Chain A
């Protein structure tokens, strides 16, 4: 009677992990790190980590914006049904603060990250890297954060100093 039980227990515990008095089998499958996984590197960090190759200019961005974005975001990135993207720099401590990309967002890298994963809402991830760089350049140029001849790429985008870069209180 005793022996079969003991064998069962050994059978149950072999090859398993014990943590916090719990016994379970570690089932995570290792990922092959010798191959690149673009689908696991969608997040772009403020230092530019994650930014892809490619580039885009203000002029290219204006064309794209007027074709793809203007219906929701309005002329020049204002006045549409979606949140205003441009203008209102310096308004944050006024009686009518307006949180636009250019008045509020602390990092320009966030703009690339968010456009790529979310915009346009009908087709996320449909824009090329060149197109996204161009759209970032156009939006930022509307408040002279960039000049009209600017070209953005993975080196220059993280170098953009947003007007409200120091406007956030950390945890």
Chain B
């Protein structure tokens, strides 16, 4: 501390002296400044800047940083958009880039007329207006949401060369704020026979899924805010379910009803979809938890290393629907040797954890991989092990190690290794 004070005093004394010197010879210095420095100054320093904005948008120079949309041509509202994970840093996904999965478009819902009903096996069916929900205690938690079908191109025989986010970016991470579901379910009075909750959205398809009530009582949230502002329409405005760590489909957007029941409804999205077909023809149902996973976001497929030799920050994201990330290892030789990466704080339960490690490249062929471990001890499997256990037609819950091949020119490709 003392050292800082001293140097600051010295700096001030020095400046004062310089000021005096400038004052005595001002006319000459000013003309030289005008002549010599203007041409080298940035144009942004020579004229007033742009206007204020009521709502900020990204720099026009960042216009390539976008979600990638893939939708059904006959039903354009049925599809996904991918978060550009390879373009982002930190752990929080900006609201405009959070991944989307819609089944029939983004509904336009007026919060003044929207309600959430809790009924079925309750003592007292209740109707909650949005204005009333906003008056309850608001709890915040940061967590990821991952589509059950994220990364599913990797079940295919040849590796996709899509950018990292456009193959693995049906996962995003945000701070969600809203009312703990336990408060509202208990207000309605849960009957002892109630084991499941049928959640239904107000989109053009009225998406419905069955969720075990114990999970919703444990950490389910009725979210009204996303990263501090009200939900974006494409993320469920005015109210959605947040079911931390569980596959995206159960985080029902545009929520209109929670019906408590003794058994699941066997809806389309929990039978025909979001069930994991095994090689023996049986399908695992209600496989809600997203397993431990990681992805190197940079350098990654489609990028080229500019310097040879050069030092590169190998960085990426790790997450687990079971709990916190405890370790991320990185390999540059296709998994023969591993080194522990640095984990950026805070490391949160069921949330993105950023990892990084410096890497020297001097033109050698390399295969970059990351391998995450969560606090339950689950380790991300190799693709070989995952396919051996689950077959090629499981379609959902792909969480195997992802491999980026760096060739001698520094070009990066996606490979199965």
Contact = CB atoms under 8 A, between A and B. Distances in A.
B is bound to A = yes
Interface of A: 17, 19-20, 22, 24-31, 33, 40, 42-46, 71-72, 81-82, 92-94, 97, 99, 101, 104-107, 109-110, 113-114, 117-118, 121, 124, 167-171
Interface string B243-283: 00000000000000101010101111001100101011111
B285 A171 contact: yes
B267 A110 contact: yes
Contact of A45 (B126, B257, B261, B281): B261
Nearest to B73: A81
A17 B187 contact: yes
A28 B284 contact: no
Nearest to A116: B206
B348 interface: no
B286 A170 contact: yes
A26 B73 CA distance: 46
Interface of A is mostly: loop
B183 A24 contact: yes
Contacts of B359: none
Given A92-B281, A118-B103, A171-B286, A110 B127 contact: no
A107 B271 contact: yes
B137 interface: yes
A169 B271 CA distance: 11
A141 to B, nearest CB: 19
Contacts of A167: 281-283
A28 B118 contact: yes
B271 A171 contact: no
A31 B118 CA distance: 9
Contacts of B284: 168-169
* Chain B residues touching A, range: 35 or more
B125 A30 contact: yes
Interface string B363-394: 00000000000000000000000000000010
Given A31-B126, A94-B281, A101-B272, 11 more contacts: A20-B182, A26-B187, A30-B125, A33-B125, A42-B200, A42-B206, A42-B208, A97-B393, A110-B266, A124-B206, A168-B271
Nearest to A171: B286
B271 A110 contact: yes
B184 A169 contact: no
Contact of B117 (A31, A97, A169): A31
B216 to A, nearest CB: 15
Contact of B205 (A82, A118, A170): A118
A43 B259 contact: yes
A72 B75 CA distance: 9
A45 B120 CA distance: 13
Contacts of A42: 200, 206, 208
B125 A170 contact: no
Contacts of B263: 45-46
16 contacts: A17-B187, A22-B137, A28-B118, A28-B128, A29-B128, A42-B200, A45-B261, A72-B75, A106-B271, A110-B268, A110-B272, A118-B204, A118-B268, A124-B104, A168-B283, A168-B284
B78 A121 contact: yes
Interface string B91-103: 0000000000001
A107 B266 CA distance: 7
B77 A99 contact: no
B186 interface: yes
A117 to B, nearest CB: 4
Contacts of A33: 125
Nearest to B261: A45
Given A167-B282, A167-B283, A27 B117 contact: no
Nearest to B393: A97
Contact of B285 (A24, A93, A105, A169): A169
B132 interface: yes
B277 A28 contact: no
B299 to A, nearest CB: 37
The 10 closest A-B pairs by CB, nearest first: A93-B281, A28-B126, A92-B281, A27-B132, A171-B286, A117-B206, A114-B268, A31-B125, A118-B205, A168-B285
A113 B117 CA distance: 19
Contact of B265 (A28, A113, A171): A113
Contacts of B268: 105, 110, 113-114, 118
Nearest to A33: B125
B49 to A, nearest CB: 45
B285 A117 contact: no
A30 B128 CA distance: 9
Contacts of A24: 135-137, 183
Nearest to B269: A114
A97 B266 contact: no
A99 B277 contact: yes
B124 interface: yes
A17 B182 CA distance: 13
Q: Which of A27, A92, A170 has the most CB of B within 10 A?
A: A27
